[in-house]
Structure 1
């Protein structure tokens, strides 16, 4: 336990103007008020506030913060009152002690209303003075260091989980990297002790095996920089066990597969030299793609600045390097404690590191209840979340990697279903754009819009994914119903019979189905064949081959060349003008269409939802309202589909076979993306109309080799 004079000397060492008399009085008052109270370890209770004050001297906090640390438990655990603290130590200290006392009462609870109210108190206390949070973090850090003295395992785990869920993310949010790392590792030991011991044992083994490797890498990096005229301090840093464990879980890899357990830091004198060092390192060693981040030009919201890069460096090892100035390093390690504004005056909420609290306060003013506030914000302190704003200023909390579609569904299910475009910070962006903290998102909707199955490939929230899947299932059922009825009608007709619902009702029990519609859907999804169903309806029937009708479309197909187009009558066309179909959207009979008049080219026909139409939005005189006069039977048109096929033997054959069986003709096929497990393709198919293409899509979806299929819109 730190003695009274030692604490005063520590504070005076970095703050010669500190109120020595106030520090002494606070030390004695805390000792007197806590009296004979004991901690779980058996130590005198007053040793705890003294150790908390000692932790804060490491971050060179002002005198009022140190006094607050000494007194932070007096109101909660002794007979002291807030009025007495105010009378003895002043208004500023009393306000800070009161704020920390409110934070002390915060605990995770199954009662949502209570938890929401506690979070609200937490925000309000932090907003009044960020030093309240700094004192509480030091308090929690000392409690975690002595957690093993608590006998009840359940209580230890609750405190550790609370630390992991609330206090470590809060420390990260204000840039207190040292406190955050230690809190995480102490909680990690309690929650996943076996995993921590295993990782520490492997780290010890690596240190023993490669003890001379790290110094060699540091020396070579230093020599490389010096040879190019740059003196820099180069150090090596081992990642924490918890950080390593998180990466193993996130990437689903073993410890041995990790290549960046060690990180190296290059510290230079000025900002310009940071970029000079980056150029030297990238010039000397191959850069690892997709591992470069410039947090100097775009700092993190907690004020963190540094350049991160990964290279195949000395000893041909893949290493991670951070480049920063000494001042940036101070901010990275100490966070707000490195440059808080009240060292020059009164506390301010204007700094970047406080802005997130102020923004939440603005939202708090517009929420009807603590529960609503908790639902919309989750405090913006969790590292794996991003928080964005609606145009009205409402805050929406989303998982990391969320997109405008996730945002739209979070606002309201109907907004998500009808989402057509999004603006982020006033700029139109693709719907798959990944949102960042602080983005303002505006969603445009249309009553004609429906969820796109493609959205499921990039949304990350459960609500969005569930809603999209629900719509897709409904859409697929309609398509399967249409396709199944066509298959049954054709099969029955070929055999000289008429399809009736009454006939199908008689075989429902055989297939354990409740309705005729369900049976037809099963046929459309290819879970049953039309031939099977017909033989069930008419037992003993001998099926006759009827190939002529099935092949009639293929034999009589006409090309979509100039000789075929005159047979097509488009309602609204200007007589005598040339006409051709746009290659961007491939309009088909049955689509809603418009024409764009182009001098020297005639009229180009687009689908009403074609993205290219936006190019002509300011030229309404060029638009023609067109429509199909009739669907020309036997005339082929090219429809384009996007397909994701499993990378397995026979998959491409399955694709072509399904299209051929459904009377389509592939005119072009292009692989747009190759992955280990899947191929993305664009396939042009000759069909009669939209309905024909829809049937082909439905049949492809029912095939196990096809992972995804949709009509291409671009």
Structure 2
């Protein structure tokens, strides 16, 4: 590409020379001169029409497109077709160029990706991407072409990096969508760098105090940590220098979100978390020597430092389903501190960072896509199964994400990968649906075990079947894999449909024999009065004899044609009336209806949610339920799931007036187990105006006390003031509010 051509692009699209050079150089190398000129003309025409001036205040649409393309290139190694599709999507939707012209000029591959992006964005334009009715369709659209998933993940990473520029409601929807959908997808696809950044950014926006605390602690301990890493690495390097191996060693601090999770899970202060970092040894090896040289390095490390045999993870012999290959060991380093050591090659490291996208580079599309295609095929099968409800489809999708894997074998030695916790019945369905449906037990390592027996890595399993066996409802509680659950539900539904048809014919015949008119609305009301949630459940009870059919007909006659549907009447306003009805403009703004909470509020049936115990001053939202409106904190642990699955039930809410009542909250306090520290804490609480102690429980372990204190107070101002004073007590290390 000539310098003049680069300068033209910079001038036209207001991007830096480096960005223009990187993007267009790649496009130029992948396209013919005619194709490149066509693309350039399309972008110029789009600019002339003002397409790229649209977008949010903080950044233009073009900036979003360019940065999405950069993420796709840098983090995923995507080239050519995918990058072209990113640039052509808007010109197609704005009719600068037609889909037919894209296919003719740039090929079927580019056209297919553009169609996938259009389909997804059309769905997101009409409703929340995570509304339950739309979620399965969104997943199905992405499952048609893997590159569409990559590009959507790339776009969401760029949006997450700029989330503070959005208004609060849009930001909350983005955070929920990313946490619920795109983070697990990035994990499944082996995009660990993106997955980690998603998790860190989610924590930064939803719990900034925890994020800043961990970030500050990491920064404060950097000098000591770096010194320790140097001391740990030095003897390893001395040994490896004489081995003739080409290598690079680096220390890596674990992510802020993972450290925060450890703090919460272990309930200790920062200084007592020792595995804050990992050492990574990356070899420059020929592919034929990779495994041998990795084990050679492991031998060096194990000679110098005592390994923990329970923490050896060998993903060299059997890589993860997403292509991840590495050798992990945890060893006892200086000062009796456990240190994780990861050993891999350059190729493995790129696959670990870029997932399947990098895998294609090394092994070829056809070979490397087999495992991924298997997962996508299974996902499509579940999503296209009309016998499953939306909730069941989403459950099946989530089952396939984040699971740790075990490796088991058939009697012939064939390898099967299953999620940790899988049972004999899961294994049977992984072989074949018929084998699973007729499974009665299994031989695990030669010993007869029931179908619910949980498998371990290395087990050899033989399935025993019987032609008289068929799936049972409780099997759904035995299996863990989406494939098994899908097959069981399918067969149970098929059997239920047969029973329902038999019961319907029987009931219709009895009505006819007794010369009774079958008035369906009355029958539906009777079914509801009898306590059945579904009509299918009613007919199944008739089919299996639980309901006497003559008794049902007698009740139907007593019910009478004068019976009308019962409507629950409330003195308070129905919660359903508070679901915001937004017009098209309001759907994209935060200025919709808002629920104002104060002590004088009457006529509204609302309650404070127990899962997060909101108090006056907390940032809140309302959630419409069958029991009325529940008020939740915005950082409630259940918030992202509610926004994800039931966004249409979320009601913006805020406090008004002054707090006129007390709220009970629980504080978690960690500190040194010194004499008198409890008295000092309770003394502060007793002297604090408007605050009263309700309960206290303390545990003492290894010189530390950990306790929960329940207090009653009026609002967040009082809460923050109390926490600040409690932190000043000598020996107190942490004071935090529990949900």
Q: TM-score, normalised by structure 2?
A: 0.51
Could you report, residue by residue, the CA deviation over 1:317-364 in whole angstroms, capped at 9, with x for unpaired residues? 3110000111111111121222327996x7778433433113333555
Q: Does 1:138 align with 2:158?
A: no
- 2:84 is aligned to 67
Specify whether residues 307 and 29 from structure 1 end up closer, same or farther in structure 2 by C-alpha distance, changes over 3 A only.
farther
Contact 1:356/1:380 (CA < 8 Å) preserved in 2?
A: no
Q: Which secondary structure state, in structure 1, belongs to the residue aligned with residue 310 of structure 2?
A: coil
Could you report, residue by residue, the CA deviation over 1:248-271 in whole angstroms, capped at 9, with x for unpaired residues? 445555433322111111112242
Specify whether residues 144 and 324 from structure 1 end up closer, same or farther in structure 2 by C-alpha distance, changes over 3 A only.
same
Q: Does 1:284 align with 2:304?
A: yes
Contact 2:132/2:391 (CA < 8 Å) preserved in 1?
A: no
Contact 1:163/1:184 (CA < 8 Å) preserved in 2?
A: no
Q: Which of 17, 20, 24 does residue 40 from structure 2 map onto?
A: 24
Contact 1:293/1:308 (CA < 8 Å) preserved in 2?
A: yes
Shift of 1:4: 7.3
Q: With CA pairs under 8 Å and 6+ residues apart, which has the higher RCO, 1 or 2?
A: 2
- 1:238 is aligned to 253
After TM superposition, the structure 1 stretch with the greater mean CA deviation from structure 2, 330-339 or 355-364, is 355-364
Q: Which of 18, 25, 29 does residue 12 from structure 1 map onto?
A: 25
Q: In the aligned structure 1, how far is the partner of 2:479 from the partner of 2:19?
A: 56
Contact 1:310/1:318 (CA < 8 Å) preserved in 2?
A: yes
Specify whether residues 42 and 441 from structure 1 end up closer, same or farther in structure 2 by C-alpha distance, changes over 3 A only.
farther
- 2:63 is aligned to 47
- Map 1:296-375 to 2 at 5 A: 296-314=316-334, 316-340=336-360, 350-363=369-382, 367-368=386-387, 371=390, 374=393
Specify whether residues 205 and 442 from structure 1 end up closer, same or farther in structure 2 by C-alpha distance, changes over 3 A only.
farther
Q: In the aligned structure 1, how far is the partner of 2:185 from the partner of 2:236?
A: 35
Contact 1:349/1:355 (CA < 8 Å) preserved in 2?
A: no
- Map 1:14-163 to 2 at 5 A: 16-19=29-32, 20-21=36-37, 23-25=39-41, 27-32=43-48, 34-35=50-51, 37-58=53-74, 59-75=76-92, 81-86=98-103, 89-104=106-121, 105=123, 112-124=132-144, 126=145, 130-151=146-167, 153-163=168-178
- 2:576 is aligned to none
- Map 1:281-680 to 2 at 5 A: 281-314=301-334, 316-340=336-360, 350-363=369-382, 367-368=386-387, 371=390, 374=393, 377-378=396-397, 381-384=400-403, 401-404=421-424, 421-422=441-442, 431-434=452-455
Could you report, residue by residue, the CA deviation over 1:121-151 in whole angstroms, capped at 9, with x for unpaired residues? 2323x3xxx2222222111111111111012
Specify whether residues 89 and 320 from structure 1 end up closer, same or farther in structure 2 by C-alpha distance, changes over 3 A only.
same
Q: Which secondary structure state, in structure 1, belongs to the residue aligned with residue 340 of structure 2?
A: strand
Aligned-residue CA RMSD (Å) = 4.8
Shift of 1:165: 1.5
Q: Does 1:173 align with 2:188?
A: yes
Specify whether residues 111 and 41 from structure 1 end up closer, same or farther in structure 2 by C-alpha distance, changes over 3 A only.
closer
After TM superposition, the structure 1 stretch with the greater mean CA deviation from structure 2, 88-97 or 418-427, is 418-427
Q: Which secondary structure state, in structure 1, belongs to the residue aligned with residue 309 of structure 2?
A: coil
Contact 1:287/1:309 (CA < 8 Å) preserved in 2?
A: yes
Any stretches of 5+ residues in structure 2 without a counterpart? Answer: 1-13, 411-416, 430-434, 486-700, 702-739
Specify whether residues 89 and 229 from structure 1 end up closer, same or farther in structure 2 by C-alpha distance, changes over 3 A only.
closer
Specify whether residues 325 and 342 from structure 1 end up closer, same or farther in structure 2 by C-alpha distance, changes over 3 A only.
closer
Could you report, residue by residue, the CA deviation over 1:675-695 in whole angstroms, capped at 9, with x for unpaired residues? x9xxxxxxxxxxxxxxxxxxx
**What is the count of residue pairs matched by the alignment?**
442
Shift of 1:236: 0.8
Shift of 1:220: 2.8
Could you report, residue by residue, the CA deviation over 1:268-325 in whole angstroms, capped at 9, with x for unpaired residues? 2242110111111112211123111000101000101000000012454311000011
Q: Which secondary structure state, in structure 1, belongs to the residue aligned with residue 306 of structure 2?
A: coil
Q: Which secondary structure state, in structure 2, belongs to the residue aligned with residue 401 of structure 1?
A: coil
Q: Which secondary structure state, in structure 1, belongs to the residue aligned with residue 133 of structure 2?
A: helix
Could you report, residue by residue, the CA deviation over 1:520-572 in whole angstroms, capped at 9, with x for unpaired residues? xxxxxxxxxxxxxxxxxxxxxxxxxxxxxxxxxxxxxxxxxxxxxxxxxxxxx
- 1:535 is aligned to none
- 1:486 is aligned to none
Q: In the aligned structure 2, how far is the partner of 1:75 from the partner of 1:15?
A: 21
Q: Which secondary structure state, in structure 1, belongs to the residue aligned with residue 274 of structure 2?
A: coil
Q: In the aligned structure 1, how far is the partner of 2:447 from the partner of 2:109?
A: 45
Shift of 1:38: 3.5
Q: In the aligned structure 2, how far is the partner of 1:204 from the partner of 1:181?
A: 18
Contact 1:228/1:280 (CA < 8 Å) preserved in 2?
A: no
Q: In the aligned structure 1, how far is the partner of 2:445 from the partner of 2:371?
A: 18
Specify whether residues 349 and 326 from structure 1 end up closer, same or farther in structure 2 by C-alpha distance, changes over 3 A only.
closer
Specify whether residues 142 and 365 from structure 1 end up closer, same or farther in structure 2 by C-alpha distance, changes over 3 A only.
closer
Q: TM-score, normalised by structure 1?
A: 0.53
Could you report, residue by residue, the CA deviation over 1:636-659 in whole angstroms, capped at 9, with x for unpaired residues? xxxxxxxxxxxxxxxxxxxxxxxx
Q: In the aligned structure 1, how far is the partner of 2:95 from the partner of 2:164?
A: 24
Q: In the aligned structure 1, how far is the partner of 2:138 from the partner of 2:42?
A: 28
- 1:579 is aligned to none
Q: Which secondary structure state, in structure 2, belongs to the residue aligned with residue 62 of structure 1?
A: coil
Contact 1:236/1:263 (CA < 8 Å) preserved in 2?
A: yes
Shift of 1:10: 4.7
Q: In the aligned structure 2, how far is the partner of 1:426 from the partner of 1:23?
A: 64
Q: In the aligned structure 2, how far is the partner of 1:215 from the partner of 1:318?
A: 15
Q: In the aligned structure 2, how far is the partner of 1:98 from the partner of 1:33?
A: 22
Q: Which secondary structure state, in structure 2, belongs to the residue aligned with residue 212 of structure 1?
A: helix
- 2:213 is aligned to 198
Could you report, residue by residue, the CA deviation over 1:654-678 in whole angstroms, capped at 9, with x for unpaired residues? xxxxxxxxxxxxxxxxxxxxxx9xx
Shift of 1:174: 1.6
Contact 1:177/1:333 (CA < 8 Å) preserved in 2?
A: yes
- 2:688 is aligned to none
Q: Which secondary structure state, in structure 1, belongs to the residue aligned with residue 86 of structure 2?
A: helix
Q: In the aligned structure 1, how far is the partner of 2:443 from the partner of 2:108?
A: 47
Shift of 1:408: 11
Specify whether residues 424 and 388 from structure 1 end up closer, same or farther in structure 2 by C-alpha distance, changes over 3 A only.
farther
- 1:223 is aligned to 238
Q: In the aligned structure 2, how far is the partner of 1:350 from the partner of 1:33?
A: 40
Contact 1:404/1:435 (CA < 8 Å) preserved in 2?
A: no
Any stretches of 5+ residues in structure 1 without a counterpart? Answer: 392-396, 410-414, 465-675, 677-714
Bigger Rg, which one: 1
Shift of 1:3: 4.5
Contact 2:236/2:300 (CA < 8 Å) preserved in 1?
A: no
